[in-house]
């Protein structure tokens, strides 16, 4: 009776299927090992992924010969780590100076520097927390790293300011019938924040924070409207399509994004707002900080252009809040 109970509850065939059960367990274990091996191989093949993405984003800015080097590295990351400059030149059928020019176009000092970055990228696992923070960092170290990363982002942004079209963008904003702030996902929060800041200057403002609203808003865009579009990567299809439609209808498109992105190609003016950052992070921190800072700069510049009326509007909106607070019990 006990044997029958055991057989029924454990679903084991005592009469000869024990061996089959053991084989099944071994097969399952082998499958797990195989999946683990495949995962490791996949990780090895995809090593240097962040640097490869960076190279892919820069393809449009490279010469034809430099593109051949870039494509070869993208397709042969593991080989590039061990290759010499002469081997890369031979494989891509370009000269060694062309290889060096490609490296410098990517911000490297030379081929050795490129190899060093590739090796580092291959050894670094995907990080979904923060670029500079390791999972075993203590809290104090992690906070310092986050702050230092933010400082670097602002320092890098400072070096780019002189080439940004502030005067042209503000000149359009001054006479705009409406400012429409556009953002999807995390960038939507930045767009909403900007809308709250700009409307207090006395200019009508609205937001478009989802795909349907963006497409519908752009379909009725007017030539006296200005769209301020925020996107780290600048590759959301609906956003790009919507802004292309709005531009074709005569609207002005101001994009805070990667200058080589699809969004940048349909924009009237582009503000380079693309600090190097791992897009595995759900809400990229450095890019968000750069976006907020640029928008603050645009708002202050617009206030200065509007003059006394903007200052009066800011005063009135602030007094309205103080009046409400003073009445609350």
Average pLDDT score over the chain: 81
Smallest CA-to-CA distance from 24 within 12, 6, 7, 39 is with 12
Least confident of 209-223, 261-275, 313-327: 313-327
Least confident of 36-50, 211-225, 244-258: 36-50
Helix residue ranges per DSSP H, the chain: 2-10, 18-45, 49-58, 64-75, 77-82, 85-92, 96-105, 111-123, 139-160, 166-174, 186-199, 211-219, 237-248, 262-266, 285-306, 308-327
**Sign of the alpha-carbon torsion through 95, 97, 98, 100:** positive
Smallest CA-to-CA distance from 254 within 222, 288, 230 is with 230
Interatomic CA distance for residues 294 and 299, integer angstroms: 9
Instruction: Average the pLDDT over 157-167 and give the result.
Output: 90
pLDDT category of residue 44 using cuts at 50, 70 and 90? very low
**DSSP letters for 246-265:** HHHTT-EEEEEE-TTSHHHH
Contacts (Cβ under 8 Å, ≥6 apart) of 73: 52, 55, 80, 88, 118
Proportion of the chain above pLDDT 90, given as a percent: 41
Interatomic CA distance for residues 222 and 138, integer angstroms: 53
Least confident of 122-126, 172-176, 199-203, 234-238: 122-126
pTM of full prediction above 0.85: no
The angle subtended at Cα 135 by Cα 133 and Cα 141, nearest 5°, is: 45
Neighbour-count burial for 250-272, b at 16+ CB within 10 Å, e otherwise? ebbbbbbbbbbbbbbebbbbbbb
Smallest CA-to-CA distance from 291 within 133, 167, 162, 182 is with 182
Say what the pLDDT of residue 21 is: 58
Smallest CA-to-CA distance from 57 within 310, 213, 264 is with 264
Both tokens assigned to 8:
């029924």
**DSSP letters for 64-129:** HHHHHHHHHHHH-HHHHHH--HHHHHHHHT--HHHHHHHHHHTT-SSHHHHHHHHHHHHHSPP-SS
Structural domains for the chain: 49-123 (1.10.10.10), 160-323 (3.40.50.10490)
Decide if 111 contacts 99 (C-beta within 8 A).
yes
Instruction: Sort 148 into a burial class: Cβ within 10 Å, 0-12 / 13-18 / 19+.
Output: exposed
Say what the pLDDT of residue 8 is: 46
Interatomic CA distance for residues 213 and 203, integer angstroms: 21
Say what the pLDDT of residue 137 is: 78
Both tokens assigned to 128:
């979904």
Is the pLDDT confidence value at 158 over 70? yes
Tell me if residue 209 falls in helix, strand or coil. coil
The pLDDT tens digits of the residues spanning 309-323 come to 999 999 999 888 877
In Å, how far from its chain's centre is CA 119? 23
Smallest CA-to-CA distance from 258 within 62, 56, 114, 84 is with 56
Is the pLDDT confidence value at 251 over 50? yes
Say what the pLDDT of residue 130 is: 66
Say what the pLDDT of residue 254 is: 98
Smallest CA-to-CA distance from 154 within 326, 61, 15, 293 is with 293
Instruction: Average the pLDDT over 41-67 and give the result.
Output: 70
Interatomic CA distance for residues 38 and 237, integer angstroms: 32
Say what the pLDDT of residue 242 is: 97
CA count, 13 A, side-chain hemisphere, 198: 31
Say what the pLDDT of residue 104 is: 87
The pLDDT tens digits of the residues spanning 111-134 come to 888 888 887 766 655 555 666 777
Instruction: Average the pLDDT over 187-210 and give the result.
Output: 96
Q: Which of 50-59, 240-249, 270-279 has the highest mean pLDDT?
A: 240-249
């Amino acid at each position: 009776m006990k044997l029958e109970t055991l057989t029924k509850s454990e679903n084991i065939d005592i009469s000869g299927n024990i061996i089959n059960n053991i084989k099944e367990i071994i097969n399952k274990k082998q499958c797990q090992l195989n999946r683990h091996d495949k995962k490791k191989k996949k990780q090895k093949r995809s090593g240097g992924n962040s640097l490869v993405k960076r190279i892919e984003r820069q393809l449009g800015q490279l010469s034809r010969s430099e593109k051949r080097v870039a494509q070869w590295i993208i397709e042969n990351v593991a080989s590039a780590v061990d290759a010499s400059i002469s081997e890369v030149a031979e494989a891509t059928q370009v000269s060694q100076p062309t290889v060096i020019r490609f490296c410098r176009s990517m911000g490297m000092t030379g081929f050795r520097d490129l190899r060093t970055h590739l090796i580092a990228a291959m050894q670094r696992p995907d990080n979904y927390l923060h670029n500079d923070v390791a999972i075993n960092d203590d809290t104090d170290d992690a906070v310092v790293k986050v702050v230092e990363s933010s400082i670097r982002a602002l320092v890098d942004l400072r070096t780019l300011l002189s080439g940004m079209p502030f005067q042209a963008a503000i000149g359009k904003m001054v006479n705009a019938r409406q400012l429409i702030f556009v953002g999807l996902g995390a960038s939507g929060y930045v767009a909403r924040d900007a809308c709250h800041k700009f409307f207090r200057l006395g200019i009508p403002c609205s937001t478009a924070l989802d795909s349907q609203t963006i497409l519908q808003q752009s379909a009725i865009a007017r030539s006296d409207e200005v769209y301020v579009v925020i996107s780290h990567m600048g590759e959301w299809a609906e956003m790009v399509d919507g802004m292309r439609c709005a531009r074709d209808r005569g609207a002005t498109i101001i994009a805070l994004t990667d200058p080589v992105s699809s969004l940048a190609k349909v924009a009237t003016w582009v503000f380079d707002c693309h600090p190097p950052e791992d897009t595995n992070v759900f809400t990229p921190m450095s890019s968000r900080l750069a976006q907020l800072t640029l928008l603050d700069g645009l708002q202050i510049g617009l206030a200065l252009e509007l003059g006394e009326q903007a200052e009066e509007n800011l005063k009135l909106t602030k007094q309205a809040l103080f009046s409400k607070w003073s009445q609350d019990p």
